[in-house]
């Protein structure tokens, strides 16, 4: 499996706070069958840790990979960021300040939970105007999607990629997120499921627990497509 969304880089956001946590997260992911992790720190947030495309951020992916290799943990780190659509989002887009997923055309974008759908649409159009493809992080967590899941379906029909959180399907992120996630999954609107892990204890990168749940509750879903083939296509900058 490839985990498209994971806060595994140490000390850069509210995910792994130090390298030991990153290593434990990677070991847990590897044990559950994950071979590649896109390291996607929060980016363009209100605080000072913007995680724009800088030499320091690029060094952070390499440093974590070196540490994993030294520890013998068989996981490949791919670059990325979870870009919050707010503030001077469009300006930063045009300036190329955001790390796309493994340097591909795919950009992982998140919104405030209570964001206005018209603003979300403008931001996704701005991403597309730069020749990039929006990957919408956890659409099931946005209030507008919880109220009207058809909205996210429409995004998918327009070529935006929907990435569900594992935790939503496991019921860890509330009933509304679970209901919206289930519906989008059953309607075939979802392209990827990822961990959005922040630690190894809570919101973990363990992906194995998802498989029996998918088999039992969503037999129409192809786990290999959502957990391996689609994220692999994104890593290779291929069409889904
Ligand atoms: Fe995230």
Q: What is the sign of the dihedral through the CA atoms of 161, 167, 170 and 174?
A: negative
**Residue 13 domain-assigned (yes or no):** yes
The SS3 of residue 1 is coil
- Secondary structure (DSSP) of 141-166: GSHHHHH-THHHHHHHHTTPEEEEEH
Whose tokens are 């559950």? That residue is 32
Residue 161 CA to residue 152 CA, distance in Å, equals 10
| CA 80 to each of CA 9, 16, 20, 105, 180: distance values in angstroms, whole numbers, following the listed order | 10, 15, 21, 11, 26
Ligand 1: centre distance to CA 83 (Å): 9
**Residue 215 domain-assigned (yes or no):** yes
- What pLDDT is attached to residue 202? 84
Ligand 1: centre distance to CA 208 (Å): 19
Ligand 1: centre distance to CA 112 (Å): 12
- What pLDDT is attached to residue 49? 79
- What pLDDT is attached to residue 17? 96
Ligand 1: centre distance to CA 22 (Å): 15
**Residue 240 domain-assigned (yes or no):** no
Ligand 1: centre distance to CA 194 (Å): 9
- What pLDDT is attached to residue 47? 83
Ligand 1: centre distance to CA 10 (Å): 14
Dihedral class, residue 96 (left if φ above 0, else alpha if ψ from -120 to 50, else beta): left
**Residue 133 domain-assigned (yes or no):** yes
- What pLDDT is attached to residue 100? 98
- What pLDDT is attached to residue 64? 98
- What pLDDT is attached to residue 42? 98
Instruction: Tell me the pLDDT tens digit for each residue of 135-152.
Output: 999 999 999 999 999 999
- What pLDDT is attached to residue 213? 95
Q: Indicate the number of domains in the chain.
A: 1
- What pLDDT is attached to residue 19? 98
Q: What is the pLDDT averaged over residues 177-200?
A: 97
Ligand 1: centre distance to CA 82 (Å): 6
Query: 132 falls in which pLDDT band (50, 70, 90)?
Result: very high
**Residue 199 domain-assigned (yes or no):** yes
Ligand 1: centre distance to CA 204 (Å): 12
Instruction: Tell me the pLDDT tens digit for each residue of 97-131.
Output: 999 999 999 999 999 999 999 999 999 999 999 99
Residue 62 CA to residue 219 CA, distance in Å, equals 39
Ligand 1: centre distance to CA 216 (Å): 26
Could you list the residue range(s) of the whole structural domain that residue 123 is in? 2-235
- What pLDDT is attached to residue 48? 77
**Residue 84 domain-assigned (yes or no):** yes
Structure tokens at 116: 């206005």
Residue 158: CATH number of its domain? 3.20.20.140
Instruction: Tell me the pLDDT tens digit for each residue of 34-81.
Output: 999 999 999 999 987 799 999 999 999 999 999 999 999 999 999 999
């Amino acid at each position: 499996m490839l985990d498209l969304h994971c806060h595994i880089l140490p000390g850069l956001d509210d995910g792994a706070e130090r390298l030991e946590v990153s290593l434990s997260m990677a070991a847990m992911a590897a044990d559950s069958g994950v071979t590649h992790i896109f390291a996607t720190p929060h980016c363009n947030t209100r605080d000072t840790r913007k995680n724009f495309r800088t030499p320091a951020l690029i060094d952070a992916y390499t440093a974590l990979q070196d540490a994993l290799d030294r520890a013998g943990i068989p996981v490949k780190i791919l670059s990325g960021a979870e870009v919050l659509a707010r503030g001077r989002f469009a300006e930063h887009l045009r300036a190329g300040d955001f790390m796309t997923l493994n340097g591909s055309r795919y950009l992982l974008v998140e919104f405030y939970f209570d964001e206005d759908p018209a603003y979300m649409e403008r931001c996704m159009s701005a991403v597309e105007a730069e020749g990039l493809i929006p990957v919408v992080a956890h659409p099931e967590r946005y209030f507008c999607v919880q109220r009207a899941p058809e909205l996210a379906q429409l995004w998918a029909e327009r070529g935006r990629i929907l990435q569900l959180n594992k935790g939503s399907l496991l019921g860890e992120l509330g009933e509304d997120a679970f209901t919206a996630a289930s519906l989008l999954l059953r309607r075939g609107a979802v392209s990827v499921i990822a961990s959005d892990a922040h630690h190894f204890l809570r919101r973990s990168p363990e992906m194995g627990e998802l498989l029996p749940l998918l088999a039992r509750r969503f037999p129409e879903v192809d786990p290999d497509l959502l957990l391996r083939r689609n994220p692999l296509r994104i890593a290779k900058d291929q069409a889904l």
